[in-house]
């Protein structure tokens, strides 16, 4: 760091002086503006190269309103972000797509909900072009705080009054759950239990709805609320076995929960699938394949969902820029709203991907 204070970054003035042009001309070239003669453009570019000048993005973004950076917010404490492979997979898809468009992935980590106001400040503060937000819980204030920041959600947002035109990428949680439970019924199972996910998330609510679509008169004792974690799955399975020792199948809201359930069933000496069949959700590969026995599950393409989220956001941003350019060319203002505020023109649509039942040994 002492090194850095003795080598100050070259200024725009230095670039202008070296190129022999005015500061205004140098600024126009650096910010990609028009109306500078080609020989002057050349001289400024050479000076930029020679001095290693890096434009101050804060100043430049006031002009261009683009940062070539997209924020990702996972509305969970950072400890869960690194413990649950679901997030790594989704980030992999996002990272590939953003990199292909030379846009920087900016992951905003938090210790928990209390930090979301700070995250919103960063998002609204002009450091990124938009945001990808996932694992949102129902009462999270974040969506309200980032109104005005182009956003694509991972999973349908669950705020009251529906998704209010928000753009999201999701899988068919309800349909996937229905398929899993119908399969268990087809195996002849009658006492089918459900371990839910965190019910303040729409994915968990939708999977519970899918379970109920098939098990219309389900014994309420066969449904236990849980939280999408391995430990939660263990606790829920113990509770289920104590309450309903005669259960013959379990549909768990995700693979981690199912892995916890399998562990407890083994502890209690219940054979899987002979005595109790188990189905998970997600098809998170190391978890499902290393489970004992390997886990039958509802597959969703998590990496592809991440990629689609990034693609929808970038497409929306491009549309904003085109609309602004068209408006400026025709001398009128942008069709609706300010060009840099939110998205204008035809909005991209949300996408709901299908799921597949993957049969392994547990059911």
Question: How is 234-280 classified by DSSP, letter by letter?
Answer: HHHHHHHHHH-TT--EEEESSHHHHHHHHHHHHHTT--TTTT-EEEE
Q: Does 69 bind a copy of itself (CB under 8 A)?
A: yes
CB of 134 to a copy of itself, least distance (A): 15
Q: Is 148 in the site for a copy of itself (CB under 8 A)?
A: yes
- Report, in Å, the least distance between residue 62 CB and a copy of itself: 6
Q: Does 287 bind a copy of itself (CB under 8 A)?
A: no
Q: Does residue 242 bind a copy of itself (CB under 8 A)?
A: no
79 or 328: whose CB is closer to a copy of itself?
79
Rg value, the chain, Cα: 26
Hey, how many other C-beta atoms are within 10 angstroms of the C-beta on 58?
A: 10
Which residues make Cβ contacts (< 8 Å) with residue 306, sequence separation at least 6? Answer: 89, 90, 91, 92, 93, 94, 95, 97, 132, 154
Among the listed residues 20, 42, 50, 79, the single contact to a copy of itself using CB under 8 A: 79
CB of 106 to a copy of itself, least distance (A): 6
How far apart (Å, rounded) are the C-alpha atoms in residues 40 and 4? 31
Among residues 183, 198, 205, 177, the alpha carbon closest in space to that of 299 is found at: 177
Which position has the token pair 């349908």? 156
User: DSSP state, 220?
Assistant: G
- β-pairing, 223-224 vs 192-195, is parallel
Q: Which of 109, 218, 321, 353 binds a copy of itself (CB under 8 A)?
A: 109
Are the CB atoms for 293 and 263 separated by under 8 Å? no
Among 45, 96, 137, 182, binds a copy of itself (CB under 8 A): 96
In this complex, which beta carbon is closest to a copy of itself, that of residue 46 or of residue 118?
A: 118
Residue 134 β-bridge partners: 74, 154
Q: Which of 96, 191 has the CB closer to a copy of itself?
A: 96
Residue 302 interacts with a copy of itself (CB under 8 A)? Answer: no
| Among 22, 275, 341, 361, interactor with a copy of itself by CB under 8 A | 341
139 is a contact residue toward a copy of itself (CB under 8 A): no
Q: What is the size of the binding site for a copy of itself (CB under 8 A)?
A: 70
- The residue (of 166 and 353) whose beta carbon lies closer to a copy of itself is 166
160 binds a copy of itself (CB under 8 A): no
Q: Which of residues 162-191 bind a copy of itself (CB under 8 A)?
A: 164-167
Q: Does 34 bind a copy of itself (CB under 8 A)?
A: no
Q: Determine, following the binding rule CB under 8 A, whether residue 2 of this chain makes contact with a copy of itself.
A: yes
Burial track 5-29 (b if 16+ CB lie within 10 A, e otherwise): eeeeebebeebbebbebeeebbbbb
* Cβ proximity of 284 and 299 under 8 Å: no
Q: Interface residues with a copy of itself (CB under 8 A)? A: 1-9, 54-62, 67-69, 78-79, 82-83, 85, 88, 91-92, 95-96, 99, 102, 104-111, 115, 118-119, 121-122, 124-127, 147-152, 164-167, 316, 336-338, 341-344, 347-348
């Amino acid at each position: 760091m002492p090194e850095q204070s003795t080598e100050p970054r070259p200024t725009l003035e230095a670039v202008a002086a070296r190129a022999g042009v005015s500061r205004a001309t140098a600024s126009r070239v650096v910010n990609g503006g028009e109306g500078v003669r080609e020989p002057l453009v050349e001289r400024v570019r050479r000076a930029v190269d020679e001095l290693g000048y890096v434009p101050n993005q804060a100043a430049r973004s006031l002009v261009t309103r683009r940062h070539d950076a997209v924020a990702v917010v996972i509305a969970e404490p950072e400890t869960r972000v690194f413990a649950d492979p679901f997030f790594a997979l989704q980030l992999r898809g996002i990272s590939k797509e953003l990199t292909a468009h030379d846009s920087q992935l900016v992951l905003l980590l938090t210790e928990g909900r209390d930090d979301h106001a700070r995250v919103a400040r960063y998002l609204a503060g002009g450091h990124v072009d938009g945001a990808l937000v996932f694992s949102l819980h129902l009462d999270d204030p974040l969506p309200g705080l980032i109104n005005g920041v182009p956003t694509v959600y991972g999973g349908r947002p669950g705020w009251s009054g529906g998704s209010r035109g928000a753009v999201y990428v999701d899988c068919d949680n309800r349909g996937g759950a229905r398929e899993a439970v119908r399969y268990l019924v087809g195996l002849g199972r009658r006492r089918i239990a459900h371990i839910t996910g965190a019910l303040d998330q729409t994915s968990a609510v939708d999977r519970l709805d899918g379970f109920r679509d098939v098990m219309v008169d389900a014994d309420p004792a066969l449904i236990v609320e849980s939280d999408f974690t391995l430990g939660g799955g263990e606790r829920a399975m113990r509770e289920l076995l104590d309450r309903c020792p005669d259960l013959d199948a379990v549909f768990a809201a995700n693979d981690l929960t199912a892995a916890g359930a399998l562990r407890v069933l083994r502890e209690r000496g219940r054979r899987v699938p002979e005595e109790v069949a188990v189905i998970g959700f997600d098809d998170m590969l190391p978890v499902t394949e290393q489970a004992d026995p390997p886990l039958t599950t509802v597959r969703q393409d998590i990496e592809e969902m991440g990629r689609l989220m990034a693609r929808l956001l970038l497409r929306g941003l491009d549309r904003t820029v085109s609309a602004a350019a068209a408006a400026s060319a025709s001398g009128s203002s942008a069709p609706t709203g300010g060009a840099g505020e939110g998205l204008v023109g035809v909005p991209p649509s949300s996408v709901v991907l299908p799921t597949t039942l993957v049969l392994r040994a547990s059911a």
